[in-house]
Amino acid sequence: MKLRRNLQWLVIAGCLVGVPFLLASAQAQQMPKSVTIGSNPPGTVFYAVGSGISKVLSESLPFQAVVQPYSGSSTFLPLLNSGEIDFGINNAVDMGLTYRGPNFNIGGRNPFPHTPNARLAMRGAPLIISLLVKKDSPFKSIHDVKGKRVTGEYPAHLAVWYNMYGALAAGGLTWSDVKVIPVPAVNDGVDALVQGRAEVTIMAVNAAKVREADAAVGVRHLSTDCSSEGDARVRKAVPGYYARLMKAGTAAAMVEDTCTIAYDIYLTTHKAAQDQVITSTLKAIWDNVGKLLPIHPIFKEWTRERAVDLDVVIPYHPAAVQFYKERGLWSAKMDEAQRKLLALNP
């Protein structure tokens, strides 16, 4: 009888010992084999950002992160909204428009698909964009662009329409003041410049496409207007934009001190994303942020301190909120900002 009781206790103890392993196994099974990060095409800064984050995640986590490039960030927003892709590399202006939907517009338009399920995982570095001309162009600043051939429309890459709209506004210009050369997306705009179809285009600073164009025909960035009046004009035209002066030599094709436009890059997700995936992703980036800088200069300002900000335009994913609370970045003011953003899409 005593032997039987001892055997029973051994069986029970063995089962209890096995419970943590079963739970760990169940959790592991819940984790996906891979996650997808939507980005702009190769050659763009957003593709470099997606690739850098993908590398860090794949080296640190039990699942692979795969970058999926699209012709423009606007083309994958419906997939982000439905959860068909897990993450996106987007910008603040786009996300403010797409999250709030057709009742909100900038420049009299909001052509983005409504994306009410979008959520923020991490606020990243500022994206810096700048006008681009051929190196031998006679233009000295945005004020010389009136009546010239400027790339526009950007139906596959709606963000760039706002980029150029804001750059023109900095100089007190509108689309009607220039000759619009229609192009589908940002890389096509640079191609139009190289081919001579356009005299002015716009591109993210330090994009690979800029280096490619510089090697092909020689290009340089062109100033907008960093005066207080110019900065006020760009801020009014596109909320989220601000003027930023860059010194000569600090970026490819930055041959002289140049006034540029800056706004924030987001690592986005959707509201149904698994908490465990979001937490694991943020921890991997948080713990390995130093590994990002060697990948691309844009990561210089991709810091832990910038991850949370009161002025973000979409709500954070709940798991991201918890992650930042545990690290002391989340405040009562952030709770209020989060409530206001969630109320925009009840």
In the numeric block, which tokens belong to residue 314? 């979409």
Q: What is the pLDDT of residue 31?
A: 83
In this chain, the answer to whether the domains covering 34-126+265-343 and 129-263 adopt an identical fold is yes
Count of other CB atoms within 10 angstroms of residue 1: 5
Q: What is the pLDDT of residue 71?
A: 87
Instruction: Measure the CA–CA gap between 260 and 5, rounded to whole angstroms.
Output: 79
Written out in words, the top-level CATH class of the domain with range 129-263 is alpha beta
Write down the domain spans for the chain. Answer: 34-126+265-343, 129-263
pLDDT at site 21: 44
Measured at the CA of 158, the angle between CA 156 and CA 159, to 5 degrees, comes to: 130
Report field, pTM of the whole predicted structure over 0.95? no
Give residue 154's pLDDT.
95
Nearest to 55 by CA among 71, 40, 37, 41: 37
Q: Which amino acid is at 44?
A: T
Candidates 314, 322, 315; CA nearest to 95 is 314
Q: What is the pLDDT of residue 5?
A: 52
Mark residue 203 as left, alpha or beta (left: phi above 0; alpha: psi -120 to 50; beta: remaining).
beta
Candidates 235, 231, 265, 250; CA nearest to 142 is 231
Summarize pLDDT for 36-70 with one digit per residue, the tens: 999 999 988 899 999 999 999 999 999 999 999 99
**Which residues, given as ranges, of the chain have pLDDT below 70?**
1-29
Cα–Cα distance between 265 and 207 in angstroms, integer?
14
3-state SS, one letter per residue, for the chain: CHHHHHHHHHHHHHHHHHHHHHHHHHHHHHCCCEEEEEECCCCCHHHHHHHHHHHHHHHHCCCEEEEEECCCHHHHHHHHHHCCCCEEEEEHHHHHHHHHCCCCCECCECCCCCCCCEEEEEEEEEEEEEEEEECCCCCCEHHHCCCCEEEEECCCCHHHHHHHHHHHHHCCCCHHHCEEEEECCHHHHHHHHHHCCCCEEEEECCCHHHHHHHHHCCEEEEECCCCHHHHHHHHHHCECEEEEEECCCCCCCCCCCEEEEEEEEEEEEECCCCHHHHHHHHHHHHHCHHHCCCCCHHHHHCCCCCCCCCCCCCCECHHHHHHHHHCCCCCHHHHHHHHHHHHCCC
- Contacts of residue 88, defined as CB under 8 A and 6 or more positions apart, other chains included, come to 37, 38, 39, 73, 76, 77, 80, 266, 267, 268, 269
Q: For residue 3, what pLDDT is reported?
A: 46
Q: Can you tell me the distance from the alpha carbon of 46 to that of 48, in angstroms, rounded to the nearest whole number?
A: 5
Q: Tell me the pLDDT tens digit for each residue of 156-203.
A: 888 899 999 999 999 999 999 999 999 999 999 999 999 999 999 999
CATH number for the segment(s) 34-126+265-343: 3.40.190.10
* CB distance 128 to 163 below 8 Å: no
> CB count, 10 Å around CB of 281?
29
